[in-house]
Amino acid sequence: MTFLQRLRTNCSKYTAKTALEFVRDDGVTAVTYQQLEDTTLRTMGYLRAKGVREGDRVALQLPKCLPFVYLHLATMRLGAISLPLNPGYPAHELSYFLQDAEARLLFADTEIRPTLTALPGGVPAVDETVFLDTHSDEWFHALIAGHNPAECAGLAVPQDLTATCLMIYTSGTTGRPKGAELTHGNLTANITALHQAWQWQADDVLLHILPLFHVHGLLVALHGALNAGAMTILLPRFDPEKALQTLCARKCTILMGVPAIHRRLINTPDASAYDLSHVRLITSGSDRLPDDLFRKFTTTFGHVLLERYGMSETGMLISNPLHGERRVGSVGRPLPGVAVRIVQPETEEPLPDGHIGEVQVRGDNIFKGYWRQPEKTAAAFTPDGWFRTGDVGLREPDGYFTLKGRSRDLIISGGYNVYPSEVELVLAEHPAVQASAVIGCPDSDWGEIVVAIIIPHPQTHLTREAITTHCRAYLVNYKVPRRIIFVEDLPRNSLGKIQRAKLQHELCSQP
C-alpha cells in the first residue's frame, strides 16, 4: 500500500481521532482524520478547477500552517508534484526555483507579496500566484468552500510508484540548485522502513518543531505520523521552552530534531526539571550529532538520542536502533530495504569493514533523478545503479556505520545545507569583491557557520556590513556569511583552485 493509500485508509479508520493540532499563540486548531480527508478532497477540487493536472508542479512558499499540509497532500493525490519552498527565500533565489520548475501554481503568504511583486517582470514561469493570509485558516477554507468532498472522492489514489509526487531543491558543488524528484514509490519505501524501524503506533503523539519544507520535517516527521494514524502537534516555529512545555503537557511520545535544536533544548533554563518519561523516542538528524551533545542530552533528560542519517535525494538510509545500542558517533545500521556500501572513491571498488571510503546506497527510497538534468542525474549514480552520497564513512564489523566527513564542499549550518559555490557566486556579483572563498568553520551552536574570505578590489572601501546587506538581498538567512574576513591573497594550488582546506586550517580556530 502506498503512503497516500495508507493515509486514506487511516482517515476512514480513525475518523473522529485528531490527526493534526496546530498551536498558535492565540489558540489551537484541531483536525480529525475525517476532516483531514474532507479538506484534502475539497482542496483537490479547488486545484483541479485551477487547472492542475498530473505532473504539474504546485509550489508552496508558505510558512508552517495547516493549508500547507492540505495543499501538499491534495497536490500529490491528484498525481501532481508538490514543490515546497523555504518561505525565507529572497526574490533572487525564489525566482530561479520558479523558473526552473515551471510551476503551474504558486501559493505564497500575503507577507511575501512585496518580495514577489519586486521581481522584474513579475513572478516567473508561474500561471497563477495565490496569496494566503496564513495567520488564520478561515481564509483558506473560504477559498475551497465552493468544492464538495464528493467531487474528488471517486478519484483513484495514484498507483504509479514511478511517478514523481514531490520535488525538493538541493544545491551542489557546481551550478544552480537541482530539483530532486521523489516518487510515490520513494515516499512509500521511506515511510515503510521508518514505520518498522521506529515502531510507529497509532497512539503515538508527535511534537512537530521542524520546518515543513524539507525532507526531515515533511517526510520523516509528518508523513511518519500520518502513515501510522498517529497525532501530530505542530508548533509554528521552534521555541525550546514552548517545545519542552508542550512535550510534557501533551504527553507527547516522539520528538524529532537537528543537533542545533537539541543543543537549545538542553540549554533551556531548568531543562532537567522537565519530566520526559512518557517520551519514547527522540531522534537527531540532518547534521552530525557531536559526542558531547549526545552525552549531555542523556544526562539532562535521561533520554538517549537516536541518531539517523538521510538526504533529500534518498530519504532515510541508516538509523541507530529503537531497541539496542545507540552508539555515540555512529548513525547505526541500514534501514530495512536500504543497501549501503563503502567504496574506494577513485575506483569505486567496495572496501572491507573498517576502511574509510565513499558511502553509496541503493533501494526503493532513492530518488528518480534531478528535474530536467539528465547529465547530473547520470553523474549521481554509478554505472551499476548505486547513488553516490558524497559522504565519507566506514562500516564496523557489526554493521554500524560511522560518517567521517564529506567528499564534497558542503557546509551544514543548523541542519541546513550550504554549498560554498552558491555563496561565492553571490559575492562575485558585488562590484567591490575581487575574489572570494567560502568555507565552513566549526561552531558550538550551529555545528558550522558560513565564513567568507574576501579580496576586495583595490581602490574600494569594502565593509563587512556592505557584504552582509548584499548577501541578505540574494540569499536565504542561513546562507549569509556569519564571519567575513578581508585578505590580500587566497591560497591556490598549481591549477589555480582555491585551497579551502588550507583556509579552514588557518582561519577556523581564530575567533
Residue from 477, 492, 505, 506 that binds ligand MLC (CB under 6 A)? 477
Residue from 416, 441, 470, 484 that binds ligand MLC (CB under 6 A)? 416
User: Which three cell numbers mark 133?
Assistant: 493570509
Contact 304, 276 (CB under 8 A): no
User: Contact between 172 and ligand MLC (CB under 6 A)?
Assistant: no
Cβ at position 379, least distance to ligand MLC in Å: 21
User: Contact between 312 and ligand MLC (CB under 6 A)?
Assistant: yes
Angle between helices 3-13 and 66-77 (to 10 degrees): 120
Taking each continuous run of H as one helix and of E as one strand, the counts in the chain are 17, 25
User: Contact between 258 and ligand MLC (CB under 6 A)?
Assistant: yes
User: Contact between 406 and ligand MLC (CB under 6 A)?
Assistant: no
| Residues of this chain, 445-464, that bind ligand MLC according to CB under 6 A | 446
281, burial (CB in 10 Å: exposed 0-12, middle 13-18, buried 19+): middle
Within 13 Å and on the Cβ side, how many CA atoms surround 285? Answer: 26
Residue from 208, 216, 333, 388 that binds ligand MLC (CB under 6 A)? 216
Q: What Cα–Cα distance (Å) separates residue 418 from each residue in 84, 172, 253, 331?
A: 18, 9, 32, 21
User: Contact between 478 and ligand MLC (CB under 6 A)?
Assistant: yes
Distance CA 9, CA 85 (A): 29
Which residue in 292, 338, 504, 496 sits closest to 411, CA to CA?
504
Residue from 191, 215, 228, 426 that binds ligand MLC (CB under 6 A)? 215
User: Contact between 260 and ligand MLC (CB under 6 A)?
Assistant: yes
CB under 6 A: which stretch of 112-120, 241-249, 258-266, 275-283 binds ligand MLC? 258-266
| Residues of this chain, 419-448, that bind ligand MLC according to CB under 6 A | 446
CB under 6 A: which stretch of 10-18, 245-253, 288-296, 411-419 binds ligand MLC? 411-419
Which residue in 321, 251, 314 sits closest to 283, CA to CA?
321
Cβ at position 315, least distance to ligand MLC in Å: 8
User: Contact between 193 and ligand MLC (CB under 6 A)?
Assistant: no
User: Contact between 140 and ligand MLC (CB under 6 A)?
Assistant: no
Distance CA 389, CA 394 (A): 13
Three-state SS string across 334-385, please?
ECCCCEEEEECCCCCCECCCCCCEEEEEECCCCCCEECCCHHHHHHHECCCC
Q: Name the residue with the smallest CB distance to ligand MLC.
A: 414
Residue from 63, 87, 179, 415 that binds ligand MLC (CB under 6 A)? 415
178, burial (CB in 10 Å: exposed 0-12, middle 13-18, buried 19+): buried
Cβ at position 446, least distance to ligand MLC in Å: 5
Closer Cβ to ligand MLC, 11 or 210, answer by number? 210
Closer Cβ to ligand MLC, 42 or 214, answer by number? 214
Residue from 43, 95, 190, 286 that binds ligand MLC (CB under 6 A)? 286
User: Contact between 261 and ligand MLC (CB under 6 A)?
Assistant: yes
User: Contact between 285 and ligand MLC (CB under 6 A)?
Assistant: yes
Cβ at position 437, least distance to ligand MLC in Å: 19
Closer Cβ to ligand MLC, 132 or 235, answer by number? 235
Closer Cβ to ligand MLC, 140 or 238, answer by number? 238
Q: What Cα–Cα distance (Å) separates residue 492 from each residue in 169, 406, 435, 484, 486?
A: 31, 21, 12, 19, 16
| Number of Cβ within a 10 Å radius of residue 325 | 12
Residue from 79, 158, 172, 414 that binds ligand MLC (CB under 6 A)? 414
User: Contact between 87 and ligand MLC (CB under 6 A)?
Assistant: no
Residue from 217, 357, 369, 420 that binds ligand MLC (CB under 6 A)? 217
Closer Cβ to ligand MLC, 21 or 391, answer by number? 391
Closer Cβ to ligand MLC, 43 or 192, answer by number? 192
Q: How many residues bind ligand MLC (CB under 6 A)?
A: 23
Residue from 211, 224, 420, 456 that binds ligand MLC (CB under 6 A)? 211
| Order of all β-strands in the sheet with 401-406 | 339-343, 357-362, 387-395, 401-406
Which residue in 209, 243, 260 sits closest to 415, CA to CA?
260
Cβ contacts of 121 within 8 Å, gap of 6 or more: none
Distance CA 314, CA 310 (A): 6
Chain contacts with ligand MLC (rule: CB under 6 A):
210-211, 214-217, 237-238, 258, 260-261, 285-286, 310-312, 413-416, 446, 477-478
